[in-house]
DNA sequence: CGCAAGTATTTTGTATACAGTATAAAACAT
DNA sequence: ATGTTTTATACTGTATACAAAATACTTGCG
């Protein structure tokens, strides 16, 4: 048995580093590196080199790569290691079709499941996003945009739904981020968002689903050219 | 060549294709073990024991566990290893809701994407399934049932769609298999399948989506009690 | 007899070592 | 010079070894 209860089951973590296992940290680290483009699609991953760069040995790094391979962010070529997965335009389009379907489902469920406070929180995010829009702050706008979509999905109160949505979302994140839209299209996107929030507040499931549908279709049109 | 050694590689009994890496084989092996119930939900996995049982060392086994953790079939508790993930009734219901939505999408896409030969193949599977039904062969029926649903999804010609569908499908497989339905409900399921195939052959997207919808709702009703 | 503390054993987490394979480079023949 | 075989190097795949943590066990004490 543990000798003395110095701290209650380690709830107060000092450096927060040793809380999660090392491979877990590497997973999130690498995921970010891939999403942010630090590791580019098609790039081969050399375990020794990357491990040294991250200051870890090959074992936990390899475990992290297996995890990311299952997530679909890297590809494992037998006897030839890991490569950052590259997606074709069709892949991205197919992903967005599925994401669209998932968000429509999420919207319908959210209209039933969400509490008034939940919806109010989304509204707050939306208002903040509009402020960033009016100031032309693209990065902040983008981040809140993501948060709103993820937020609606989480309102559906369905862990599997949130999971598969997040899975696909992480793959297209990088591409969407790249896609910088012109002023008039940007304005259109904001208007669509306004209607989305309105439908959610009215708990009008079908309208919400329809608005999400058109919004995501238009979103694809907006970034299509850059893929 | 100097690589003419035919000393057995490690302790492996090599009956399998050494084309795939060892951890890859372990992944499929463990996945089957979990789906077929050989490893039961909530069961803790001891790496030494399981590794010895499979005749592999801990390293590739751990890598396989990371992969399966990302798939959601096992849970990784820090410093306490892996346990086979257990799903609540709500989890299963939520998964089936998502699966239903995905299959409806797949059906709609399939009506556009599939070739006549593709549809004919599904019809053949269906006819074979009906034969097994009339002979009361539950296991064969079940397998073909699965194949048909997976088949329709693959007709949509969307890799991400097939992927997320398969991901969720693998989790509920075990539960669905357990669910042995009574004769009258079984008959109902077969009738629904007949209508599904009909709609697919007619390439009537909305009817197909609607039939898949009710079929999967009913399917959940059928197994609900046993979860 | 109950219970807490200290010790032992098991198990996980990480690093290192070695074997096999693919890739790059060099030597040779044409 | 060019194409091919040989040799060297680098990298991945697997196994083993060691350290830290957790669980199980035993002992001491009330």
Handedness of CA B38, B60, B163, B198 (dihedral sign): negative
Q: What is the C-alpha to C-alpha distance for residues A57 and A28, in angstroms, rounded to an integer?
A: 16
Strand partners, B25: none
Residue of A22, A63, A77 for testing the chain B interface, max B β-carbons within 10 Å: A63
Alpha-carbon distance values, B8 to B5, B23, B24, B149 (Å)? 9, 18, 20, 42
Phi, psi angles (nearest 5°) of residue A44: -85, 145
Give me the residues paired with residue B75 across strands. B83
Two tokens, residue A129: 């996003």
Burial of B148 (0-12, 13-18, 19+ CB in 10 A): buried
Task: Round to whole Å and give the CA distance between B109 and A99.
Answer: 14
Show which residues sit with Cβ under 7 A of nucleic chain D.
A 1-2, 10, 18, 44-49, 58-59, 62, 76, 78-82; B 10-12, 21-23, 56-60, 79-80
What is the separation of C-alpha A120 from the centre of its chain, rounded to a whole number of angstroms? 22
Cα distance from N-terminal residue to C-terminal residue, chain B: 58
C-alpha–C-alpha distance, residues A133 and A19, integer Å: 38
User: A44: which strand partners?
Assistant: A83
Q: Which residues of B touch A109 (CB under 8 A)?
A: 97
Q: Do residues B57 and B94 make contact, with C-beta atoms less than 8 angstroms apart? A: no
Domain ranges of chain A: 8-84, 89-226
Residue A97, min C-alpha distance to chain B (Å): 9
User: Which of these, A108, A196, A90, lies nearest to B213 by C-alpha position?
Assistant: A108
Model confidence over A164-194: pLDDT tens digits?
999 999 999 887 766 567 788 889 999 999 9
Fold of B22-84: Arc Repressor Mutant, subunit A (1.10.10)
Residue among B165, B222, B166 at smallest CA distance from B189: B222
User: Number of C-alpha atoms within 13 angstroms, CB side, residue A132?
Assistant: 17
Q: What does each of the 227 residues of chain B score in pLDDT, given as a tens digit?
A: 333 323 333 333 333 334 578 899 999 999 999 999 999 999 999 999 999 999 999 999 999 999 999 999 999 999 899 999 999 999 999 999 999 999 999 999 999 999 999 999 999 999 999 999 999 898 899 999 999 999 999 999 999 999 999 999 999 988 776 656 778 888 999 999 999 999 999 999 999 999 999 999 988 887 776 65
Per the CB < 8 A criterion, the answer to whether B141 and B149 are in contact is no
Left, alpha or beta for A10 (phi > 0: left; psi -120 to 50: alpha)? left
Pairwise CA distance, residues A64 & A18, whole Å: 16
pLDDT at position A128: 97
Contacts of B61 (CB under 8 A, 6+ apart): B23, B26, B47, B50, B51, B54
For A179, residues 6+ apart whose C-beta sits below 8 A from its C-beta are A222, A223, A226, A227
Please give the ipTM for the structure prediction: 0.88
CA distance B29 to A222: 44
Interface of A with B (CB under 8 A): 19-21, 23-24, 59, 62-64, 66-72, 76, 78-79, 91, 94-95, 97-98, 101-102, 105, 109, 158-161, 163-164, 167-168
The pLDDT, as a whole number, for residue A221 is 80
Q: Is the pTM of this model over 0.80?
A: yes
Rg of the Cα atoms in chain B: 20
**Range A89-226: architecture per CATH:** Up-down Bundle (1.20)
A129-159: per-residue pLDDT in tens?
999 999 989 889 999 999 999 999 999 999 9
- A150 by Cβ neighbours in 10 Å (0-12 / 13-18 / 19+) ranks as middle
| Whether A67 and B70 lie within 8 Å, measured CB to CB | yes
Kindly report the CATH class assigned to A8-84: mainly alpha
């Amino acid at each position: 048995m543990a000798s003395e209860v110095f701290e209650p089951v380690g709830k107060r973590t000092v450096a927060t580093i040793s809380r999660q296992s090392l491979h877990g940290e590497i997973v999130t680290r690498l995921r970010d590196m891939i999403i942010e483009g630090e590791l580019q699609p098609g790039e081969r991953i050399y375990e020794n080199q990357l491990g040294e760069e991250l200051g870890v040995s090959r074992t936990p790094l390899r475990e992290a790569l297996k995890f990311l391979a299952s997530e679909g962010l890297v590809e494992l070529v037998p006897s030839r290691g890991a490569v950052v997965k590259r997606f074709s335009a069709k892949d991205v389009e197919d992903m967005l079709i599925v994401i669209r379907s998932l968000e429509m489902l999420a919207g319908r469920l959210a209209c039933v499941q969400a509490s008034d406070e939940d919806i109010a929180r989304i509204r707050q995010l939306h208002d903040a996003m509009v402020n960033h829009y009016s100031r032309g702050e693209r990065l902040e706008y983008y981040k809140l945009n993501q948060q709103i979509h993820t937020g609606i999905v989480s309102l559906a109160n369905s862990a599997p739904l949130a999971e598969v949505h997040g899975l696909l979302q992480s793959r297209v994140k990088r591409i969407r981020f790249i896609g910088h839209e012109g002023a008039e299209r940007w304005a259109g996107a904001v208007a669509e968002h306004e209607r989305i929030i309105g439908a959610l507040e009215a708990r009008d499931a079908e309208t919400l689903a329809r608005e999400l549908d058109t919004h995501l279709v238009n979103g694809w049109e907006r970034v299509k050219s850059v893929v």
